[in-house]
Structure 1
Amino acid sequence: MRILRAADYRVMPWKNGGGTTTEIAVSPDGAGLDDFDWRISMARVETSGPFSSFAGVDRTLSVLEGEGIVLDVAGRPPLRLTSASAPLAFPGDIPTGAALIGGPITDLNIMTRRGRVAHEVERRSFTAEIRITPRADTTLVLAVGAGATLFTDDASSLGPLDTLILHRDSPEMRLQPKGPGLLFVIGLHRLAANR
């Protein structure tokens, strides 16, 4: 078990130069935008426009704050994505644009290198105790809104936007909310050829 604190996340420019992103975690450690196996980040989107293209990458997007966006992924009907929407998966290497619905948003991006790592993202309401049993090679739990108390030997806690990292052999984790919020549970599966 490891806890990443929001205050320690790395802020860096978007690949297309149109804004900044806050990198929560990346693998391998220190990887750049062209050589990561997986990457979890948050972005502040101030204006409508095109998304950066990531060749060979699968993405999942969720809105954390703001009214939302209308996402235009080539070949699909436009889709309205708000903070109440389920996470949306799409290929990172096809033309994609977004139109803000009513002002800036903050979104959560999960990206995995196709053929190396696969991912799933679950958005869970967090108003009562939740138990998480890691089933992926790596599981990340992001607390949004309120923090959480972890039932561990040292009574660790998560603040808002802190991230808990668990590995496949980690024990079941019990989390108690410190107020109403959300948890994003991200499962990362290294594909057999890359173990």
Structure 2
Amino acid sequence: LNVMTRRSRMTHSVERLVISAPVEIRTEAGTTLILCLDGDVSVPAAEPVRLGPLDTLLSGPVSTGLLVQPAHEATLFVIRIGAVAGND
């Protein structure tokens, strides 16, 4: 998975997870994206969300973490994007 951001303005990280049990995914001050590569997962938040293969959930800085529950084994990519300090 290739994620590109402008180096002087943004930071990013990519984490690959293979899950078969519920997991809490931490979110940070910026933007967090959860890409479901394969499998099916649900996120029981204020508005429950279901993700299938190649679906992506975009989470802003409001939440501190998201519980992700797989139906069976699922592969996720968690992408976190933040601003570089001093570029407000």
TM-score normalized by the length of structure 2: 0.87
Matched positions, count: 88
Extract unaligned runs of 5+ from structure 1: 1-107
C-alpha contact (below 8 Å) 1:143/1:162 kept by paired residues = yes
Q: Does residue 115 of the first structure (1) align with residue 11 of the second (2)?
A: no
After the TM superposition, list the runs of 4 or more consecutive aligned residues in structure 1 that deviate by more than 6 angstroms: none
1:143 aligns with 2:36: yes
Aligned to 2:25: 132
Provide structure 2 residue ranges, at least 5 long, that are not aligned to the other structure: none
Report which of the two structures shows the higher radius of gyration computed on alpha carbons: 1
Whether contact under 8 Å (1:136, 1:187) holds in the other structure is no
Within the alignment, does 1:190 sit opposite 2:88 as a pair? no
| DSSP-derived class of the 1:110 partner | coil
1:60-71 equivalences in 2 (<5 Å): none
Q: Residues 139, 154 of structure 1: CA spacing in aligned structure 2 closer, same or farther, 3 A cutoff?
A: closer
Query: SS state of the match for residue 179, structure 1?
Result: coil
Determine which structure has greater relative contact order: mean sequence separation of CA pairs < 8 Å that are 6+ residues apart, divided by chain length: 2
Q: Percent identity?
A: 39
Residue type of the partner of 2:28?
R
TM-score normalised according to structure 1 size: 0.42
